[in-house]
Chains A and B, each alone.
Chain A
Amino acid sequence: MARRVRWRGAVVAAVLLGFVGGLEGNGTLLLSATIPLAYVAYGAVSTASVPESLSVTRDIDPNVAPPGHPVTVTLSVTNDGDRTVSDLRVVDTVPEKLAVMEGTPRGGGTLEPGETLELTYSVIARRGEFDFPAARLRVRGSGAGAVATTDRAPAGDTRLICRLDADAPPLSDIGDTRVGRLTTDTPGEGLTFHSTREYRHGDPAGRIDWRGYAKQGELSTVNYDRQVSATVVFALDARAAARVAAGPGRPTAVELGAYATTRALNTLLGAGHDVAVAVVGVDGDGPGGLVWLPPGSGSEQRSRAIAVLGDAIDATPATERDPTLQARKLGGLVGREAQFVLVSPLLDDAPVAMVEQWSGFDQSRTVLSPDIVASNTVSGQYEQVRRRTRLARCQAGGARTIDWRRGTPLPTILEATFAVEAHRASGGVRAGGGG
Chain B
Amino acid sequence: MEDACVLIVESNILVRQPLAEYLRECGYRVAEAANVTEARQLLREKKITVDIVLADAAADQEGCFALASWIRTALPGVEMIMAGTVAKMAGDAGELCEEGPAETTPYDHKQVLDRIKRAIAARDRQKR
Bound pair (A, B): no
B-binding residues in A (CB < 8 A)? none
